[in-house]
Amino acid sequence: MSVLVVGTVALDTITTPFAKARDILGGSATYSSVSARFFSPVNLVAVVGEDFPKKYISLFKNKGIDIEGLKIKKGKTFRWEGEYGADLADPKTISTQLNVLASFDIEIPQAYKNCKYIFLANIDPRLQEKVLMQISKPKLVACDTMNYWIENKLKHLLKILKKVDVFLLNSLEAKQLTQCRNLIKAGKKIINFGPEVVIIKKGEHGVLLFAKNNFFAAPAFLLESVFDPTGAGDTFAGGFMGYLARCKTYNRNNLRKAVIHGGIMATFAVEDFSLRRLNSVTIRDINKRIKEYKDLTRILK
């Protein structure tokens, strides 16, 4: 089963305590698509400018990602610049240049309209809704968000939550959305907003999954060092959706397995800037880390 990923493809400039990288490949749809492609075919919908490097177009093609939906418009590509201090969980935004993204009017290619697994990566919830209006009978729809949309487009976000099956957000966003300091209460409250499944990403502290008859807490895989956490949540979401699409169903057991696979994919993303680490990952690497994770979390009888 193919996964349709709709979101941003960007050029990032990132400073961490370890190094700085300028105009590297980023964006919510970028990380999600590359991660999902390890498990399922991927169709990508996004927009870039005329300045977008051809080497990144080639990268998508070499990964086997269908880019019929990647539009090149006159103007400059969306750019984000951020800086991480000692707390890698809290980046400081230096600048955001929407450029061609500001006028992005999503049109889903005809060949994508029958996709059954849809991931609405972090974009304006009004655009997320427009995507769903163009899709014919999806089997599973998941969406992500960010603090900006919660603060500035709450009405539209709450509207889209009534139309999706899975909602992903991080712990700070969950607290902001619900005004609950406790994540258990927050997760249960978000379920009442409409989605069947809510996934709260807690970074180095793991993931919480909420459903009406299914609560699951997955600890994070232990890493000795984190180089750049940019895109970790998007990588998680892509791995999660790609794995579910491969399973062809999202029952209790597969949802939990998808959470674990998404979490493992995110651990590779944070080990270097952009896709540098993900580009070298193999299925064998993923399976090896899954096995290590099982050993770390196994409860002895």
Q: What are the φ and ψ backbone dihedral angles of 198, each rounded to 5 degrees? A: -125, 130
Q: What is the pLDDT of residue 285?
A: 97
CATH 3.40.1190.20 fits 3-297, yes or no: yes
Reading the chain (301 residues) residue by residue, the pLDDT tens digits are 899 999 999 999 999 998 999 999 999 999 999 999 999 999 999 999 999 999 999 999 999 999 999 999 999 999 999 999 877 777 888 999 999 999 998 999 999 999 999 999 999 999 999 999 999 999 999 999 999 999 999 999 999 999 999 999 999 999 999 999 999 999 999 999 999 999 999 988 999 999 988 899 999 998 888 899 999 999 999 999 999 999 988 899 999 999 999 999 999 999 999 999 999 999 999 999 999 999 988 876 5
CA distance linking residue 177 with residue 180, whole number of Å: 8
pTM of the model: 0.96
Q: What percent of the chain has pLDDT over 70?
A: 99
Nearest to 201 by CA among 157, 225, 250, 234: 234
CA distance linking residue 262 with residue 207, whole number of Å: 10
CA distance linking residue 164 with residue 89, whole number of Å: 27
Q: What is the pLDDT of residue 299?
A: 77
Q: What are the φ and ψ backbone dihedral angles of 26, each rounded to 5 degrees? A: -150, -165
Give residues with Cβ within 8 angstroms of 165, minimum separation 6.
140, 141, 142, 195, 196, 197, 250
Q: What is the pLDDT of residue 92?
A: 86
Each residue of 1-19: pLDDT tens digit?
Answer: 899 999 999 999 999 998 9
Q: What number of H helices and E strands is found in the chain? A: 10, 13
Q: What is the pLDDT of residue 34?
A: 98
Each residue of 221-277: pLDDT tens digit?
Answer: 988 888 999 999 999 999 999 999 999 888 999 999 999 999 999 999 999 999 999
Average pLDDT over the chain reads 94
Domain chopping of the chain, boundaries: 3-297
